[in-house]
Amino acid sequence: MPGSLRREGRPVSDASHAVLAMASDALRAMRKDGFLLYRRFRDVSIARKLYFTVGTMALLIGVELFVLLFCLNTLSSLRAYVGGEGLWSKAQKDAVFHLYKYGVSHTDKDYELFERFMRIPAGDAKTRQELLAGDGNMHVARQGFLEGRNHPDDIDGMIHLFIHFGNVSYIRKAISVWGDAQAMVMQLPPIAERLRAEINSPNPSQERVNELLASLYTINEKLTAFEDEFSFTLGEGSRWLERVVLRLLFATAITVETTGLLLVISVTRGIQKGLTEIIRAANSFSAGELSARTKVLSHDEIGVVANSFNEMADILQIRVSELAQLNQHLGHEVGERERAEAVLRQMNQTLEVRVDERTATLTNLVEALRKEATRHLRQPRDDKPPHGPGTHGRVGALHRSRADLDRSRGSLDPSSARVLAPSNAGPAADRHESAGSGNGGIVQKHRGTGDPDRDEAGLRTAPDPVRSEPA
């Protein structure tokens, strides 16, 4: 027996596993479809998202209003049936009362009142018969409710409730009680006819009249029970319908609010996340992190802005890199030029020192030569030779100084020579010009003599050994 139980339990276990597998597959498919739907909704433009949200909210509010209207109409129809039951019961009681009174007083007015009050149950019976037929005449059904003294505005709702809610237990039970009471109340007209025939007969029997009146009492008691049961059934149905209506309205309101909140949260969260990501990337980029890029979370307007920001950041990063390379190259060139200028300034200072030294030497020599030349020129030419024993030595020293100065200038490169040209030429030229201006008459005099042994200053130079040899 235990083995058979285990063998019988295996198919149940396999079936449960199969059901669980199918349920899990269905859940995965729903998640996948929901995720794809969310991605599609995320890529929709912001304007369409807002239109969709507003349209969905309007549709849900319309559905809620429709449900509310439906519930109100249903409750109103149920209330109309309760009111119709009151009219039916009151008319039945009045009909029994006047029929009983007719059996006692034998007045035709009471019988006419009985027939008048019996029109109300008869009209409701006509409506019930047409509605139970399925394809009955709705005009006849409305006419029956009108004969039952129901309000014209409530008739359509009462017919709608009978047709569409006839299978509900409470409504079905009420309709059944209504049918039993209708069959019972339709026994009153035959009794009334027999009672009238007995009263109008030549020899009326009071015993027969009393029997008919006693049957009226019995029917009235049974109708009271049916009327109470009908009222209780409608009361239970009304309370049930109220609970259903409240639950339906509550579910509809929760659905509307939840859907609206989810849509609003989804739209605002998507916009907020996109803008937050763009702001974060912009702050990082402005702080100097040129590699900062924003994540493209959607393909709506926020996504377009994010793509534009990334393209702009790429272009700016390339331009900044190019400017950095150019700045580095310019800095290298500026450094080389500064080093070259430092070298040139040092050479210029050195040359200025050497030029000042040579200039001072030349100035002293020129002054000494000027004094000696002046002294010799004042003496007669026949008494003493024109030159002293140290004249040729001073003139040779002068020529050597000028040669050294020319070699110093020639050893510089063209740019350095241009830089130093004013410093080398200016003082020497000024000094030679001043020296020439002091001995202007002597220089002009010796220039006019045409003596090849004299220089531009009018001084005699050392004799050339080649020229001094005899021919």
Identity of the residue numbered 18? A
Which tokens sit at 430?
A: 């000024």
Q: What's the burial of 368, exposed, middle or buried (CB within 10 Å: 0-12/13-18/19+)?
A: middle
CA distances to 61, 101, 163, 249 from 64, in Å: 5, 55, 24, 7
Q: How far apart are the C-alpha atoms of 363 and 369, rounded to whole Å?
A: 10
Q: How far apart are the C-alpha atoms of 418 and 31, rounded to whole Å?
A: 86
- pLDDT per residue over 362-405, tens digit each? 888 888 888 888 888 876 554 445 444 455 555 565 566 556 65
Q: By the 8 A CB rule, do 361 and 401 touch?
A: yes
- pLDDT per residue over 434-461, tens digit each? 444 434 443 333 344 444 444 444 444 4
- Residue 134 backbone class (left: φ over 0; alpha: ψ -120 to 50; beta: rest): left
Per-residue DSSP letters for 165-222? STTSHHHHHHHHHHHHHHHHHTTHHHHHHHHHHHHHSSS--HHHHHHHHHHHHHHHHH
- Angle between helix 108-132 and 46-105 (nearest 10): 150
DSSP letter for 381, please: T
Q: What's the burial of 130, exposed, middle or buried (CB within 10 Å: 0-12/13-18/19+)?
A: buried
Number of residues that make up the chain: 471
C-alpha angle 43-45-49 in degrees, rounded to nearest 5: 95
Longest dimension (CA), the chain: 219
Q: How far apart are the C-alpha atoms of 401 and 357, rounded to whole Å?
A: 10
Q: How far apart are the C-alpha atoms of 343 and 338, rounded to whole Å?
A: 9
Per-residue DSSP letters for 277-345? HHHHHHHHHHTT-TT-------SSHHHHHHHHHHHHHHHHHHHHHHHHHHHHHHHHHHHHHHHHHHHHH
- pLDDT per residue over 11-28, tens digit each? 444 555 555 566 566 556
Give residues with Cβ within 8 angstroms of 190, minimum separation 6: none
Q: How far apart are the C-alpha atoms of 40 and 306, rounded to whole Å?
A: 18
CA distances to 86, 95, 216 from 186, in Å: 18, 12, 12
Selection from 311, 406, 418 nearest residue 358 by Cα: 406
CA distances to 85, 96, 126, 195, 197 from 189, in Å: 20, 10, 15, 10, 12
Identity of the residue numbered 9? G
Q: Is the dihedral of CA 106, 107, 108, 110 positive or negative?
A: negative
For the question of whether the overall pTM of this predicted structure is more than 0.85, the answer is no
Residue 100 phi/psi, 5-degree rounding, is: -65, -40
For residue 32, the Cα-to-chain-centroid distance in whole angstroms is 24
| Residuewise pLDDT in 10s, the chain (471 residues) | 444 444 444 444 455 555 556 656 655 655 555 555 556 666 667 777 778 878 888 888 888 888 888 888 888 888 888 888 888 989 989 999 998 888 888 888 988 999 899 999 888 888 888 888 877 788 888 888 888 888 888 888 888 888 888 788 888 888 888 888 888 888 888 988 888 888 888 888 888 888 888 888 888 888 889 888 888 888 888 888 888 888 888 888 888 888 888 888 877 887 888 888 888 888 888 888 878 888 887 777 777 888 888 888 888 888 888 888 898 889 888 988 888 999 998 998 998 898 888 888 888 888 888 888 888 887 655 444 544 445 555 556 556 655 665 665 555 455 444 444 444 444 444 444 444 443 444 333 334 444 444 444 444 444 444 333 332
- pLDDT per residue over 313-334, tens digit each? 888 888 888 888 898 889 888 9
Q: What's the burial of 270, exposed, middle or buried (CB within 10 Å: 0-12/13-18/19+)?
A: buried
For residue 108, the Cα-to-chain-centroid distance in whole angstroms is 87
HSE of 438 in the Cβ direction (CA atoms, 13 Å)? 13
